[in-house]
Chain A
C-alpha cells in the first residue's frame, strides 16, 4: 500500500476534480440561497394556504433522490432542446435542490424572530422593508447560519452525484484513476481525505457558531 504508482500529475488531476466539486457547489449554493431566501420570505408572508403550491413543489425536491432529479433534469433539457451542458444542468438541479432546503431554513429562522419585536418595530413607524432589513435579517441570520453551513456542506457532498451526468468532479476523477492504476483503496482514501479536509473545518466552524450564538 505504501508504494503506489500514483504520480504528482495524478494528484493534480484529483485536485482539479476537487476544483470542479467546489465550482458546482459554489454556483449552486449561491443561486440556491438567493432563491431560498426569496421563497422563504414569500412563504412566511403569504401564509401556509396560499403558499401550498410552492411548498408542495419544493417538497418534491426534498423527497426525490438527487440522482433521479439529475437524470430527469438532463432528460428534460434534451427533450426541450435547451442545449445545456452537464455543468449547467447539474448546477440548475443542485440550485433548486439547495433552494428547497434553504427555504425551510429561512422560514424557520424568520418564524423564530419574536413577533412582539417585529410589532414593536412597526409601531415605531418602520416600514415592512425596514423591519425586514434592520430587525428580522440580523436576528434570523444568527439562527439560520449554522443550518445554512450544514446545508452548504451537504450540497458539497451531494454534488458527488453529478458524476452520473459525466462531469469529472472529485469522486469521478478518483474513479478514473482507480480504473487506470488499479489501487482502489489508496486512491479512494486520498479522495476521502480531500473531501474530509474540505468539509471538516467548515463543519467545526458551524458547530462553534451554533454553540456561540445559542446562549444569548
Chain B
C-alpha cells in the first residue's frame, strides 16, 4: 500500500531504553504534581487570607498559568530566567514549568471545590478554639482535596502529557527525549514515535486506574 517498509524490529530493540525514559517521565510528572499541589494549597491560602497583596499575587499566578501555553512557561523557565543569571538544566526547567502550570490549574480547581464547603464549618471549628490555620488544615483541606480529587486526576494525566514538551528545550532522558534521540539516529520516525505513543497511552491509563483505586479506597463511607 505504501512505498515504505516498516522496521518494527529495530524500534522494538530500543524498547528497554524507552521504558527507562518512561520512568523518568513518570518521575517528573509525580514531582511536578507534588510541587504543584504544595504551591496550589499555598495559593489557596493566600487567596483566602484577605490580604490584598497576597491575594493579588495568587490571582496573577493562576491567570498567567492558565492563559499562556505550557510550552511558553517551560521556555520562560529555560531561556527567560537566564537573564537573571539563573541557568536551569532542561530537567529543572521542565519540572519548574510543569509545576507552575499545575499549581495554577489546581488552585483554580480548589477555588471551585471550596464553594462546596460551607463557611459555617470553618466558623464552627473556630468556635471550638481552633486557630484559623488549624481549621483550614483539619476541616477545610481534607474535604477540599476530596471534592477536587477528580480534577486532580485529570491534572496528573495532563502533567504526564506535558512532560513530552521537555524535548523542545533539549531534554534527552525522558520518554519523548529518548524517542527523539533514537529517531535522530535512525530516521525511523513513525515506528519510534508510535511505540512512544503506546507507552504514553498505557501510562495515562495506569494513572487513571490507580487514581480510581485510591479514590475508592480513601473516599468510601
Residues of chain A having any CB pair with chain B under 8 Å: 1, 60, 63-69, 71-72, 74-76, 79-81, 153, 157-158, 160-161, 163-164, 171, 175, 178, 183-186, 188-189, 191-192, 195-196, 199-200, 203
**A178 to B82 alpha-carbon distance, docked (Å):** 12
* CB neighbours of A160 from chain B (8 A): 69, 71-72
**A164 to B81 alpha-carbon distance, docked (Å):** 22
Q: Are B69 and A157 in contact (CB under 8 A)?
A: yes
Q: Are B82 and A184 in contact (CB under 8 A)?
A: yes
- Residues of B contacting A: mostly: helix
How near does chain B come to A68, taking the closest CB pair, in angstroms?
Answer: 5
Q: Are B68 and A71 in contact (CB under 8 A)?
A: no
**A157 to B157 alpha-carbon distance, docked (Å):** 17
How near does chain B come to A4, taking the closest CB pair, in angstroms?
Answer: 12
Which residue of the partner chain, among B162, B197, B204, B205, contacts A69 with CB atoms under 8 Å? B197
- Known: A161-B165, A171-B75. Is A195-B189 also a contact (CB below 8 A)? no
Residues of chain B having any CB pair with chain A under 8 Å: 2-4, 63-64, 66-72, 75-76, 79-84, 157, 160-165, 167-168, 176, 179, 189-190, 193-194, 196-197, 200-201, 204-205
In addition to A161-B165, A195-B72, 13 A-B residue pairs with Cβ atoms within 8 Å of each other are: A64-B204, A68-B200, A72-B190, A75-B190, A163-B168, A184-B82, A185-B79, A185-B81, A186-B83, A188-B80, A189-B80, A192-B68, A195-B68
- Known: A81-B2, A189-B80. Is A63-B204 also a contact (CB below 8 A)? yes
**A88 to B69 alpha-carbon distance, docked (Å):** 21
* CB neighbours of B164 from chain A (8 A): 65, 67-68
**A204 to B196 alpha-carbon distance, docked (Å):** 37
Closest residue of A by beta carbon distance from B191: A75
List 5 tightest A-B contacts by C-beta distance, closest first: A65-B164, A185-B83, A184-B79, A75-B190, A157-B69
- Known: A184-B83, A188-B80, A192-B64. Is A64-B197 also a contact (CB below 8 A)? yes
